[in-house]
Amino acid sequence: QKEVEQDPGPLSVPEGAIVSLNCTYSNSAFQYFMWYRQYSRKGPELLMYTYSSGNKEDGRFTAQVDKSSKYISLFIRDSQPSDSATYLCAMSIGSSARQLTFGSGTQLTVLP
């Protein structure tokens, strides 16, 4: 079993829809949680960064972390065709173990 599980999709939604992306994890030591967006043949771009449990909002994006359930989510409101990409969740223990453990990525297509 992988430490971080993510539904690979593909996920296809109409423009303007609310998108929900999720990851589950098994290592309770993870404290830092990130969401990256990766366009085809590009490097991952950091979208959201949260520490421990709670919600964080940035424009159309909201990240939620529920450490008790070992579950993190990314919501995209008013989705746009330009949001079409692969979304990767990533997490780390932090301090002396800073390496990121990634989910497999969810491929999202927003149809105009």
Chain positions contacting other proteins, by CB under 8 A: 32, 34, 36, 41-46, 49, 51, 88, 90, 92, 94-105
| 13 vs 92, beta carbon nearer other proteins | 92
| 91 vs 110, beta carbon nearer other proteins | 91
Quote the least distance from Cβ 47 to other proteins, whole Å. Answer: 11
Which two three-digit tokens encode residue 105?
């990525």
Which two three-digit tokens encode residue 40?
């085809």
Which residues have CB under 8 Å from 96's CB, separation 6+? none
Select from 84, 8, 88, 89 the least CA-distant residue to 40.
84
| 19 vs 88, beta carbon nearer other proteins | 88
